[in-house]
């Protein structure tokens, strides 16, 4: 049962343009959503998060949008830079069984072309 | 900025051997996790740990796996008898409460 899905395994974008990464979830209990960036041979690095009481959160070039009715979130990167090339994971979190549970999507490999 | 540290970065072991992967979470964090990523696949939850006990574990975390927080700083994952399919990157993570998980750089486990 894949509760968090990233349907695009890869995405290529020209430098300076917008990158849009998408994520869908199925469990309405999730109330906190995160995006992580991962380079090869490194651990995932936290990028940006959003609580379910919001529909948008912005941090510099990164904006996360949450559509609760559609159970969909997206990450926008504007403008995209070659250094943004990495695998991006979305994650959803809920309090369950006495702990915060974080479920990760399968990842989208972003390639920003110079 | 405080970070999660994991040792070793790479561990090679023979099938059937025991391995211990070590992690030092961020010092004021309360929740501790192990995840793994088989090459090219998703980051999979193994176990969460809070207040010196396991909070939740996945189907992957069977009797061959155990976790321990032997002192105030280390958090270990033990695999008693490794199998070929245990080969993966193992990530330790920690969080304060409902805050972002902070990950270490992982231990690459290769079982031959």
| Distance to chain A for B78, nearest Cα, Å | 20
pLDDT digits (tens, 9 = 90+) for A52-70: 999 999 999 999 999 999 9
Separation CA B36–CA B15 (nearest Å):
18
Q: Is the pLDDT of residue B1 over 90?
A: no
For A59, residues 6+ apart whose C-beta sits below 8 A from its C-beta are A47, A48
Contact (CB<8Å) A34/B100: yes
Q: ω before B53 within 30° of 0 (cis)?
A: no
On whether any CB of chain B is under 8 Å from the CB of A100, the answer is yes
For A11, residues 6+ apart whose C-beta sits below 8 A from its C-beta are A19, A21, A108, A109, A110, A111
Mean pLDDT value of segment B85-106: 92
CB B33 within 8 A of CB B4: no
Query: DSSP code of B58?
Result: -
CB A56 within 8 A of CB A64: yes
In this prediction, residue B59 carries a pLDDT of 93
Contact (CB<8Å) B55/A98: yes
Q: What is the mean pLDDT of each run of 10 residues along chain A (114 residues)?
A: 88 97 95 94 93 95 97 98 96 85 93 95
Separation CA B10–CA A1 (nearest Å):
31
CB B5 within 8 A of CB B23: yes
pLDDT digits (tens, 9 = 90+) for B36-88: 999 878 899 999 999 899 999 999 999 999 999 988 789 999 999 999 999 99
Q: Which of A27, A100, A108, A109 to mutate to test the interface with B (most CBs of B within 10 A)?
A: A100
- Per-residue tokens: B59: 């189907």
Contact (CB<8Å) A100/B106: no
SS3 A16: coil
Q: From the list B48, B100, B104, which residue is nearest A46 (CB)? A: B100
Beta bridge mates, B68: B76
Q: Return mean pLDDT, chain A.
A: 94
């Amino acid at each position: 049962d894949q509760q968090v899905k990233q349907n695009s395994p890869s995405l290529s974008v020209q430098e300076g343009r917008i990158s849009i990464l998408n994520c869908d979830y199925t469990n309405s209990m999730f109330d906190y959503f995160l995006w992580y960036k991962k380079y090869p041979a490194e651990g995932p690095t936290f990028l940006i998060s959003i609580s379910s009481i919001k529909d948008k959160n912005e941090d510099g070039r990164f904006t996360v949008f949450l559509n609760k009715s559609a159970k969909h979130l997206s990450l926008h990167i504007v403008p995209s830079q070659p250094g943004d090339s990495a695998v991006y994971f979305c994650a959803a979190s809920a309090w369950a069984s006495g702990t915060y549970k974080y479920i990760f999507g399968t990842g989208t490999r972003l390639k920003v072309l110079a | 900025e405080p970070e999660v540290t994991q040792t070793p970065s790479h561990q090679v072991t023979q099938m059937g051997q025991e391995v211990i992967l070590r992690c030092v979470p961020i010092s004021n964090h309360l929740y501790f996790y192990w995840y793994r990523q088989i090459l090219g696949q998703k980051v999979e939850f193994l176990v969460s740990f809070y207040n010196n006990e396991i909070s939740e574990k996945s189907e992957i975390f069977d009797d061959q796996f155990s976790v321990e927080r032997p002192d105030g700083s280390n958090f270990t994952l033990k695999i008693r008898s490794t199998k070929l399919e245990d080969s993966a990157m193992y990530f330790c993570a920690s969080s304060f409460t409902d805050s972002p998980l902070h990950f270490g750089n992982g231990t690459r486990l290769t079982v031959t």
